[in-house]
Structure 1
Amino acid sequence: MKNVYRRVDLKCIQECKYLRVCEAFYEPVTTDEKSKVDTGVDSTRRWELVQRTTRQTPIDVCRKTPVLTAVDSVEICAFLRRQGELFLILVAQYRPPLDNVVLEFPAGLVDPGEDIRVAALRELKEETGFTALPENIINISDPVCLEPGMSDSCCKFVRLLVDGDSDVNLNPCQQLDVGEDIQVVLIPLGLRDKVDINTPLQSVKDFINREKVGMHDIIVDSRLYMFLEGLSLSLPI
């Protein structure tokens, strides 16, 4: 990058129940402030963005650089081990902004004051019915952005392993909120004693071709797609 930038203001244009539309004002930082004054050029630029209103960070702390990175949500990369076989636990649900069904990682908003580990285990149970314990968590990522050209929303990825042979996971039961309609999808990642198997990405494509009915397409979330692409590339050709 040629320049360093700083935010000089953030204004709320409209606020709704879950989202607010804002306008950020920013400018390049120059060591030659005199040339800026002499030319009379205003270098301030504008950018429209969306924020979540559910976050714990108030909008006032986002007005000027440095801005705190706020983690709004958690995404769960959950592996299920059952009878010697390994699966990736995914969910499919209708997303109104796309007017289509999206195949994605289980995910959800972090409640105020909630630890990211607790949020991950809670959302996994609610959306998929599977139970995991704190000791089943393998890794927690640093904050990662979701769509930085449109929103400042960030999340953390929690990777964990679910014991599918545990009594509590033999017949998992979702705990969905009113209005939620989520389908649990298990993608095989390798079958015991079977060499000729699909890659994870091909298994997802097979699911889409099999499940696509009615008016809606099934779109794969971009984060999930690249994860599956990486898994597929790691397998021997």
Structure 2
Amino acid sequence: MSNSSNLNAAKVTNVRPMANEDAKWLQLSKIDYVSPDGKARQWEMASRRTRPEGTSVDGVGIIAIIEKDSGPEVVLQKQFRPPVEGVCIEMPAGLVDPNESLQECAMRELKEETGYVGKVLTTGPLVFNDPGFCNTNTVIVTASIDMADPRNQNPQPELEENEFIEIFTLPLATFYESLENLGKQGYKLDARLQNIAMGLKLARLYGGK
């Protein structure tokens, strides 16, 4: 069972500045660099402290597809995210562990967050989430979920004590429209997910041209 509780009951109660030395997961840095016009300039950035040594990848996102007679569906999740003060619509995702391949990470995170056992279909290129602000990056992995597999008949997420996630699916055929409707309802849309949905919509509009 998803450890979702009442996601709408979650709320931010206070926001305050934090010194860099007090941060457990993040590192703030000031960059000195030379711009294309030859001038010395500075930039402020954030980075994760969690990237394993020996890898250039922070984490993975998983687009997991369930094949159904009515058409393929995408496995998604709802999760309260304090920085945006709201419930986000996201794909399953997580950080890479030391000595773990991207494919292993993706299947582990899919099982932990959704309970589903999947099979990797494709592994995408390294993408940067917000390069004007941080160097955090992701690799998007696509996966299939075989509902004939007995392990997927009653999927049970293996969430940590501080994780509260609600799992749901959306039809791939109306993915863009469904996300747009969720945004109108007040949910916060993960940019990577919305970009995939926009790509699908553009493929429908311009496919074959």
Quick one: distance in 1 between partners of 2:56 and 2:136? 7
Q: 1:54 to 1:82 in 2, by over 3 A?
A: same
Quick one: distance in 2 between partners of 1:119 and 1:159? 12
Question: In structure 2, which of residues 188, 198, 204 is the aligned counterpart of residue 229 of structure 1?
Answer: 198
**Could you say which residue in structure 1 is the equivalent of 2:5?**
none
Check whether the contact 1:138–1:159 (CA below 8 A) recurs between aligned residues: yes
1:94 is aligned to 2:69 = no
Question: In structure 1, which of residues 164, 168, 175 is the aligned counterpart of residue 158 of structure 2?
Answer: 175
- How many residue pairs are counted as aligned between the two chains? 187
**Could you say which residue in structure 1 is the equivalent of 2:47?**
51
**Could you say which residue in structure 1 is the equivalent of 2:138?**
155
1:145-165: CA deviation from partner (whole Å, max 9, x where unpaired):
110011011111111111123
**Could you say which residue in structure 2 is the equivalent of 1:111?**
97
Choose 1 or 2 for highest CA Rg. Answer: 1
Structure 1 gap ranges (5+) = 1-12, 31-35, 37-42, 59-68, 191-198
Check whether the contact 1:82–1:165 (CA below 8 A) recurs between aligned residues: no
Moved more, 166-175 or 69-78: 69-78
Taking CA–CA contacts closer than 8 Å with sequence separation of 6 or more, which of the two structures ends up with the larger relative contact order? 2
| RMSD of aligned alpha carbons | 2.4
1:26 is aligned to 2:33 = yes
**Could you say which residue in structure 2 is the equivalent of 1:193?**
none
TM-score after normalising by structure 1: 0.72
1:74 is aligned to 2:60 = yes
Quick one: distance in 1 between partners of 2:93 and 2:156? 17
1:153-206: CA deviation from partner (whole Å, max 9, x where unpaired):
11111111111232111111111011100111200124xxxxxxxx22222344
Quick one: distance in 1 between partners of 2:150 and 2:48? 38
**What amino acid maps onto 2:175 in structure 1?**
P
TM-score after normalising by structure 2: 0.81
Quick one: distance in 2 between partners of 1:82 and 1:129? 18
SS in 2 for 1:142: strand
Structure 2 gap ranges (5+) = 1-18
**What amino acid maps onto 1:71 in structure 2?**
V
**What amino acid maps onto 1:222 in structure 2?**
A
